[in-house]
Chain A
Amino acid sequence: MSARDELKEMARGFRWGRRPLVPRSAEPFMEEREDEGFPTDWARSPAGVFARQAILQGFMHPLVKGELSLRVYGLDRLRDVRGPVIFYSNHSSHLDATLIMCTLPDRFQRTTAVGAARDYFFDVWWRQAFTALVYAAFPIDRGKGGQGAIDKARELVRDGWSIVVFPEGTRSSDGHLQRFRHGAARLALELEVPCVPIAIVGAFQAMPKGKWWPRRGRPVVTLRYGDAIEAVPGETHRSLSVRMQDAVAELFDEDRTSWWDAIGRADRGETPSLAGPAGSPWRRTWEGTRPVARRGEPKAWS
C-alpha cells in the first residue's frame, strides 16, 4: 500500500478529527475513565508557579484594583499560620477566586490551588488551561459523590499545597449564604489542617451571578481574613461545618460594625445570620443587592 493509501486507511479507521469510538463488543470491557480528565499538575510546577504569580501580580491584581474599590483586612492573622491550610469563603461571584488568589500573601499565593467545578471550568481545553494556570485549579465534580476531587485535594494537601474551596458549592443567586456542604469540613478533619475563613463582602453587588465583568463605578469590595479554625479532637464534620459557617458570619458582622462588637455578639451567640430575610425571594435579592456603603477612612481631624 502506498504511503497515501496507508494514511487514508488510518484516518478513516481511527476517525481522525472525530471522537474515538469503542467497538460494540468491546463496550463491556472499557476502562473506567479516570476522573481526573484534564491534567492540572503542570500548572503547579515551578514554571507554572512563576507564570501564575506573574499573571496574578502583574495583570490580575492591578486589573482588579482598577475595576473595584478593593479593601483587604485581616492578613495579619495569617502571620503565624503555617500551611497547608484550607481557605474557604462565601461564594457569590466569579470574582471570589480571583480576589483570594490576588490578595494572599506571597508564601501562600505560591502554593495554593483553587477547587473549581469541573462541568463549568473544565469543559473546553482553553478554559481548562486558563483555569489551571491562573488559579492552579483542580477539578471538582459537582453532583455525583466527587470522590476524585477529594482524592486530588488530599494529594495536594499532602504535598504541602493549600487549597481554596467554596463550601456552598455554587454561587449564591441572591447574595445570601447558602447551606454549607460538608466536603471541606471532612477534608479538614481527615488531613488535620486548619481552615481559614474569608468573608467577601460586596462581590455580589459588584459582579453577581450571570455577569462576567464588574459594574461601573468602582464598587466597593472587602475581603476579610479570619482566624484559622482547628478541629478539636472528637469533633464531627457537621459541627466543624457549623463552626466554619459561624466564622464567616462573624467576619461579616465585623465588617458591618467593628471587630470588638462582633466578638461580643459571637460570644453571646447573637451574630446576625447570613441566610437572608424570610419571605418571598424578591426580598432576599433586594437585600442582597443593597449597595455597600462606601466607607471612607475616618478623618483624623475634622
Chain B
Amino acid sequence: MPRPGFVLEVDERTPPLIVHEGEGYRMQRFPLGTRVVYPPDPLPGLRDLSGRIGRALLEPTGDAKPLPELLFAGMKLTIAVDDISVPLPPMQLPDVRQRVLEQVIELAARAGVDDLEIVIATALHRRMTPEEIRRMVGERVYRSFWPDRLYNFDAEDKDGLAYIGQTDMDEDVEIMKRAAESDLIVYVNINLVAMDGGHKSVAIGLASYKSLRHHHNVHTMLDSKSYMDPRPGHSAINDSTIRMGRLLAANGVKVFQIETTLNSRTFPSQLGFLNEREWEWSVKDQGLMMAAKKANDLAPPRVRREFYRRIEGSYQVTGVHAGEVEAVHERTLANLHRQQLVEVEGQADVLVMGIPYLGPYNVNSILNPILVHCLGLGYLFNMYRNVPLVREGGVAILYHPVPWEFHTIHHPSYVDFFEEVLADTTEPKEIEERYEERYATDPWYAHLYRTSNAYHGVHPFYMWYWGAHGRDHCGSVIFVGGEPKTVARLGYRRADSLRDALEMAKDTVGSTPKITYFHAPPIMIADVR
C-alpha cells in the first residue's frame, strides 16, 4: 500500500536528512520542531502499458472519436511530442513517448496516411540533437522519419507560422503553420508537473514569441499563485493558455491529446536511498549513501557532471489518457494529484529547499545561476496550492553552490543576460521594460536558436520572470553554500551553513521561526491550509 505524503516534525529521534545541492547533497541536522514535507510513496505502475495505450487510443476520453476513425488516407497529420524538458531525470528506455508514437504511427500507417510529420514541440526551447531525438522516439521512428518528417519546431521561421486570431483578452495566437493546417494534431505528452499538458501542449508548445509574450510576462507570473495550480482563477498563465487553446479549437484546429503520468520513483536503484525516508534506510542504504557522497565529493567536476548527466529515472507509468484535450487533462490531473499531493497545515516563517542538479532547461547541460533562481524560486517555490509554504515576507533558504558557469552552446543569451542585465538591475518589471524586446528580436540569438542548439534569446527573461512571484513573496532569500559573487549578482544573500543562514534570517523572522523543509525531489505539491 503506497503511503500518503506527510509532514514530519523533527524530534530527537530524527536522523540528519538529505538536502540536495546541485550535483551533490548533504546530510543536514534540522532544529527540533522543523516540519519536513515528504512526498507520497510511488504508486504502482500500470501492468500492461502497451495494452493500456492501445485501449486509450481506441476508447478515448471526452467528446472524441477513437483515433482510427480520425485517420484517413490523404489526410495531413501532424504529431507533436513533448521535448527533452520532461521527464526529469530522463526516463529509462524505452521512453513512454516512443511507445505511444509507435502505436499511433501504426494506426496511421494502417489507415493509409501519407502526409505525416512529427514535430518536437520546443516553443522557444533549444532544438534537440539528433541523438537526443533518437533516444526519445526510438530507433524505428527515427529511421523512418528523420530528418525530413521528424524535426524540431522553429518558432522563428516566419513562413512556418500561422496567425490564428486574438482571444477575448486581446492575446495573439500564432502557432506552427503546418499544425494549424493539419486535419489533425496528435499530441504526445508526459505530464510531469501540474503545469504541463492540457491546452498548454499545442497553444504554448507550438507557439511563437508573439503568442508567448502574452502570458510569459511579469504581471501574469505575479498573478499566478501558483502556476502549478491549474484551477480557474489560481493561475493567470493557465487561464490565458486555456483561452488560447479554446480559440484554436474554435478555429478548427483539431487536437487528439494523449497524456501520460508517471509515478515518483525518481531515482534509479543505485541511488535508491534518495527515494526513501531517511529513518527507513537500511545499513546498506546508509553505507551506499556515504560511499556515493564521498565519491561525489572527491570526483573531479567533469566526472561528477557526467555521472549526474547519466542518471535515468526508474519511473513507471501510472496512467494513459487520450481524446479531447480538457477531458483528458482532468483525468491526468487527478492521477497527478494522487501521486504528488501532500496536505500541509499552515505556513512557515522560513522555507528550506534543496535545489537539485536538474531542471527542465539544463538536460545534458549546465545549471547556470539564472536557472538556479528559476528552479528554486520558480518551480520548487510554486509547488503549492492555495498559499505558499512560507508566509509573505518570510525567508527562503536554498541550498546550491551557484557556480558562475554557463553552457555557451545551449545558453548563449543567458551569459549576456547575467553579465549585462543583472549587473544593472534584478527587478523583473524593469528588466522586462528595458531589455526584453532587444533580446527577443536580436538576430544573432535567433540565428543560434534556429541553427544551433541554443535557447531563444528571450528565454533567460522567462526564467527570471518564473521566479518573480517567489522573489516578490519572500522577504529575504539566502543561499547556503552559494558562491558569493554569483549570488550577489542575483540579488540574494548567502551563508555557509544552515545555522548561519538562520542567524541572518533573524532580522526578518526573529530567533525562533517556524521552519518548513520541502523534501523534494521527488516532486510533490503541497496543499497548504
Chain A residues at the B interface, C-beta cutoff of 8 Å: 3, 6, 9-10, 13-15, 20-26, 28-29, 31-32
| Contact A10 B8, CB 8 Å, known A26-B279, A31-B280 | no
| Contact A26 B29, CB 8 Å, known A10-B16, A21-B13 | no
In the complex, are the beta carbons of A23 and B279 less than 8 A apart?
Answer: yes
- Of all chain A residues, which has the CB nearest B294? A3
A23 touches which of B3, B9, B16 (Cβ 8 Å)? B9
| Contact A31 B279, CB 8 Å, known A9-B27, A25-B11 | no
Chain A facing B: main interface SS: helix
In the complex, are the beta carbons of B286 and A24 less than 8 A apart?
Answer: no
In the complex, are the beta carbons of B27 and A23 less than 8 A apart?
Answer: no
- Of all chain A residues, which has the CB nearest B3? A29
In the complex, are the beta carbons of A13 and B29 less than 8 A apart?
Answer: yes
Is the CB of B6 closer than 8 A to any CB of chain A? Answer: yes
| Contact A26 B16, CB 8 Å, known A10-B286, A14-B281, A14-B286 | no
Query: For residue A3, which residues in chain B have a CB less than 8 angstroms away from its CB?
Result: 294
Query: For residue B16, which residues in chain A have a CB less than 8 angstroms away from its CB?
Result: 9-10, 13-14
In the complex, how many angstroms separate the beta carbon of A299 from the nearest chain B beta carbon?
65
Chain B residues at the A interface, C-beta cutoff of 8 Å: 1, 3-4, 6-11, 13-16, 27, 29, 277, 279-281, 286, 290, 294
In the complex, how many angstroms separate the beta carbon of B510 from the nearest chain A beta carbon?
24
B29 touches which of A9, A21, A24, A28 (Cβ 8 Å)? A9
- Of all chain B residues, which has the CB nearest A7? B290
In the complex, are the beta carbons of A10 and B27 less than 8 A apart?
Answer: yes
Report the Cα distance A26→B279, complex, angstroms: 9
A6 touches which of B27, B277, B279, B286 (Cβ 8 Å)? B27
Which 3 A/B pairs are nearest by Cβ-Cβ distance?
A13-B15, A25-B9, A13-B16
Task: Kindly name the residue among A3, A13, A21 whose own CB sees the greatest number of chain B CB atoms within 10 A.
Answer: A13
In the complex, are the beta carbons of B27 and A31 less than 8 A apart?
Answer: no
In the complex, are the beta carbons of B280 and A24 less than 8 A apart?
Answer: no
In the complex, how many angstroms separate the beta carbon of A28 from the nearest chain B beta carbon?
8
- Of all chain A residues, which has the CB nearest B5? A29
In the complex, are the beta carbons of B279 and A20 less than 8 A apart?
Answer: yes
| Contact A10 B290, CB 8 Å, known A20-B279, A26-B279 | yes
Query: For residue B14, which residues in chain A have a CB less than 8 angstroms away from its CB?
Result: 13, 23
Report the Cα distance A250→B72, complex, angstroms: 80
Report the Cα distance A6→B27, complex, angstroms: 8
Report the Cα distance A13→B290, complex, angstroms: 13
Report the Cα distance A22→B15, complex, angstroms: 9
Query: For residue B15, which residues in chain A have a CB less than 8 angstroms away from its CB?
Result: 13-15
In the complex, how many angstroms separate the beta carbon of A32 from the nearest chain B beta carbon?
8
Report the Cα distance A67→B286, complex, angstroms: 48
In the complex, how many angstroms separate the beta carbon of B4 from the nearest chain A beta carbon?
8
Report the Cα distance A143→B424, complex, angstroms: 75
- Of all chain A residues, which has the CB nearest B7? A25
In the complex, how many angstroms separate the beta carbon of A87 from the nearest chain B beta carbon?
36
In the complex, how many angstroms separate the beta carbon of B30 from the nearest chain A beta carbon?
10
- Of all chain A residues, which has the CB nearest B15? A13
Query: For residue B27, which residues in chain A have a CB less than 8 angstroms away from its CB?
Result: 6, 9-10, 13
In the complex, are the beta carbons of A23 and B13 less than 8 A apart?
Answer: yes
Report the Cα distance A22→B9, complex, angstroms: 11
15 intermolecular pairs with C-beta atoms under 8 Å apart? A3-B294, A10-B16, A10-B286, A10-B290, A13-B29, A14-B281, A20-B279, A21-B13, A21-B279, A23-B10, A23-B11, A23-B13, A25-B6, A26-B279, A28-B6
- Of all chain A residues, which has the CB nearest B17? A13
Report the Cα distance A3→B297, complex, angstroms: 11
Report the Cα distance A20→B277, complex, angstroms: 13
Report the Cα distance A13→B18, complex, angstroms: 12
Query: For residue A31, which residues in chain B have a CB less than 8 angstroms away from its CB?
Result: 3, 280
In the complex, how many angstroms separate the beta carbon of B344 from the nearest chain A beta carbon?
13
In the complex, are the beta carbons of B279 and A22 less than 8 A apart?
Answer: yes
Query: For residue B290, which residues in chain A have a CB less than 8 angstroms away from its CB?
Result: 10
In the complex, how many angstroms separate the beta carbon of A91 from the nearest chain B beta carbon?
36
Report the Cα distance A24→B280, complex, angstroms: 13
- Of all chain A residues, which has the CB nearest B277? A26
Known: A25-B11, A29-B6. 7 other contacts (CB 8 A): A13-B16, A20-B279, A21-B279, A23-B11, A23-B279, A26-B6, A32-B1
Report the Cα distance A293→B171, complex, angstroms: 105
In the complex, how many angstroms separate the beta carbon of A265 from the nearest chain B beta carbon?
55
Query: For residue A14, which residues in chain B have a CB less than 8 angstroms away from its CB?
Result: 15-16, 281, 286
B11 touches which of A6, A10, A24, A32 (Cβ 8 Å)? A24
Report the Cα distance A26→B41, complex, angstroms: 14
In the complex, how many angstroms separate the beta carbon of A6 from the nearest chain B beta carbon?
7
Query: For residue A13, which residues in chain B have a CB less than 8 angstroms away from its CB?
Result: 14-16, 27, 29
Query: For residue A10, which residues in chain B have a CB less than 8 angstroms away from its CB?
Result: 16, 27, 286, 290
Report the Cα distance A176→B264, complex, angstroms: 58
In the complex, are the beta carbons of B29 and A25 less than 8 A apart?
Answer: no
In the complex, are the beta carbons of B13 and A22 less than 8 A apart?
Answer: yes
In the complex, are the beta carbons of A25 and B280 less than 8 A apart?
Answer: no
- Of all chain A residues, which has the CB nearest B289? A10
Query: For residue B7, which residues in chain A have a CB less than 8 angstroms away from its CB?
Result: 25
Report the Cα distance A301→B294, complex, angstroms: 83
Query: For residue B8, which residues in chain A have a CB less than 8 angstroms away from its CB?
Result: 23, 25-26
- Of all chain B residues, which has the CB nearest A27? B13
In the complex, how many angstroms separate the beta carbon of B314 from the nearest chain A beta carbon?
19
Report the Cα distance A214→B418, complex, angstroms: 85
In the complex, how many angstroms separate the beta carbon of A5 from the nearest chain B beta carbon?
11
